[in-house]
Amino acid sequence: MTAIEVLTDRKGQRLTVVGDEYEVLVRVNLDTYRSALANMVVNFNHSDNQILRISGADVSLLDVGEEIVLSNSATGGNDGTYVIQAIDSVGGLMTVSAGLAASDNNDTITVTPSYEVIRASQVGLKYISSVEVLAQESISNRFHCQLDAVTGKMMLRDIGDSPCFSLVATDVASNVNEAAGDLGMVLLRVRGSL
């Protein structure tokens, strides 16, 4: 689990008022960036775009609105990138964005989050207006927030009842999304409102 720590300023304050907004300094320890939920046994229902967890990793670790990558499905046709549309109250049934190609039972798959999702509630805010990467431990990665391909603005979306953003780690040498693993700490300045 990625640890998120809201830091205090020299006066011991967690929030700083900047104009009409609040500013928070946050240290994120990305010791489990993109940790996969491996060996999850599921049933696919392609007509409803639903995935029912039978055993293995717990889907309650994922959230509505989160982008995931499915891999190792038996047919291969269900492998791909999806956005979670709904998760039932016991965490066993996920509805994903359109695109499941085939129904299948007792398929052992791997589910990998595309990025690290950070919620406004985790940093003491109700809404987020901007995020700035101030410093990072690793020099082999470049950290940034995901941008909307159409508007070019930072992608802010709701997961459950909390606005959130995706923190992306890109490998400096290859310029692709970093593989899962320990990427060290990142210092962020997050602005928003209560």
Q: What is the pLDDT of residue 164?
A: 80
Tokens of 57: 């990793």
Q: What is the pLDDT of residue 26?
A: 94
| Whole-prediction pTM | 0.72
- Which candidate, 87, 54, 191, 78, places its Cα nearest to that of 131? 191
Secondary structure class of 122 (helix, strand, coil): helix
DSSP 177: B
Measured CA to CA, the distance from residue 13 to residue 92 in angstroms comes to 41
pLDDT in 10s for each residue of the chain, 194 residues: 577 888 887 787 787 788 888 999 999 998 877 777 778 899 999 999 999 999 888 777 777 778 888 999 987 789 999 988 888 857 688 999 878 998 999 999 998 888 888 888 889 998 888 899 999 998 888 888 876 656 666 666 665 566 788 888 888 888 887 777 788 899 999 998 88
Q: What is the pLDDT of residue 83?
A: 86
Q: Domains (ranges, CATH) in the chain?
A: 3-33+116-193 (2.60.40), 37-113 (2.40.30)
Measured CA to CA, the distance from residue 94 to residue 67 in angstroms comes to 12
Please classify residue 183 by burial: count the beta carbons closer than 10 Å to its beta carbon, then call 0-12 exposed, 13-18 middle and 19+ buried.
Answer: buried
Q: What is the pLDDT of residue 25?
A: 93
Length of the chain in residues, anyone? Answer: 194
